[in-house]
Chains A and B, each alone.
Chain A
Amino acid sequence: MDSLQDDQVLFDKWMRGDSDGFAALYERYKNRVFGFLVRMTGDREIAEDLLQDTFVAAMRNAQQYDRQRNFLSWIFGIAHKRTIDYFRHVKVENEHLLDTDRSVGKGPDQPDVGLSNEYLNTVINEAVKTLEPMQREVFLLRELGDVAFKDIAHIMNCPINTALGRMRLALKNIRKELKKRGIHGVQ
């Protein structure tokens, strides 16, 4: 049974009122969705609230779930909407953009001699943080959510070529940032 079918089975269990169905789906995807929200908002506490909002919204709108679609894409679509609502609500989008611009201008950090996982984690997260919000979102939806580009285009309400363009720019900028921090490509 592949992951998609498995998700459908768990979703159906959840719909029938079996709490194990939801618990299994939540366990499977919570860290990815939370990673997305933390990186989009830059604040763990806000991301915690948004994670709760995302799953509560999923529960409320479960009848609207299109079974032809990937469950994770659907959840990421809801998480995207919650994030947009959050930025709209607190009107911090401009500050968010300014923060990004400021961090892009940072000088290169000195890399550790051995690239430990902890160091890599920090560097990659710093690199992701420097991306413009739209590029960051496409990158995270694709890499964290494994969301198809046609679904990303649908979620972000843009043409698929725009989503692809943002992804290309995101990869280019991440590579540039990694290079700045002493990671020169993949050997």
Chain B
Amino acid sequence: MECNKWDESGLLYMANELSQPLTSEFEQHLKICQCCSNELNQYFLERKKYFSAAFLCEPTPEHLDKKIISLCAKPMIPTGIGIFYLPWVKRVLFSALVFALGVGAGGYFTFAYYQSKSSSAYAQSKVTAPSKTVNATATAALDTAKKSLPQKGEKVLPVKPPQGIVPVDLKKE
């Protein structure tokens, strides 16, 4: 028959993972429970006799040891800039770098946007605005045309046909 207390606490007790009150409680229980006491003794002796490093460990080949030590034992952190490997320094530097990149990228795009906007406006103004000479000629032509038009209240005379040409009344014909 198995005692539930062993299932609850036995392995944790052996692993020193029980809190102080639970450890005391389990030790008190061990004094009165033969089942848990036997289980504890058996596991303790099994660990000592069978589950020891002598049986469960495996020797590693020498060539592998050399290879792993040569791969991993190299200095991981250059001592000169070792401070940069401290976690908080790394975090601060990383944040500063991200911030700087963000500001740089934002600034670049804003600059590019305004630059493109102003250059397109300049190009548009170049296309639509006439030159001063063209403008003056056009104004003079417009004035002449306006002058040639009959003014308000002025009688418009019929146009005389040139000599030698007799007007024909088409109704009579």
Interface residues of A (CB under 8 A from B): 14-20, 22-23, 26, 30-32, 34-35, 38-39, 44, 47-48, 51-52, 55-56, 58-59, 62-63, 117, 120-121, 124-125, 128, 140, 142-144, 148-150, 164, 167-168, 171, 175, 178, 185-186
Q: Which residue of chain B is the closest to A178 with respect to CB atoms?
A: B50
Chain A residues, CB < 8 A from B82: 16
- Interface membership of B85, Cβ < 8 A: yes
Bound CA span A117–B11, Å: 27
Q: Is the interface of B mostly helix, strand, loop or mixed?
A: helix
Bound CA span A39–B58, Å: 9
- Interface membership of B65, Cβ < 8 A: yes
Q: Is the interface of A mostly helix, strand, loop or mixed?
A: helix
Bound CA span A52–B22, Å: 41
Given A32-B57, A186-B49: A19 touches B7 (CB 8 Å cut-off): no
Distance between B7 CB and nearest chain A CB, rounded to angstroms: 6
Number of interface residues of B (CB under 8 A): 39
A and B contact pairs by CB, cutoff 8 A, 25 listed: A15-B76, A16-B77, A16-B79, A16-B82, A17-B75, A19-B74, A26-B72, A30-B65, A30-B68, A31-B53, A32-B56, A34-B58, A35-B56, A35-B57, A63-B85, A117-B54, A121-B55, A143-B56, A144-B57, A150-B17, A168-B11, A171-B43, A185-B42, A186-B46, A186-B49
The total of Cβ contacts below 8 Å across the A-B interface reads 117
Bound CA span A18–B73, Å: 8
Interface residues of B (CB under 8 A from A): 7, 11-12, 15, 17, 42-43, 45-47, 49-51, 53-61, 64-65, 67-69, 71-79, 82, 85, 87
Q: Contact between B15 and A48 (Cβ–Cβ < 8 Å)? A: no
Bound CA span A17–B82, Å: 10
Q: Contact between A22 and B58 (Cβ–Cβ < 8 Å)? A: no
Q: Contact between B12 and A149 (Cβ–Cβ < 8 Å)? A: yes
Distance between A48 CB and nearest chain B CB, rounded to angstroms: 5
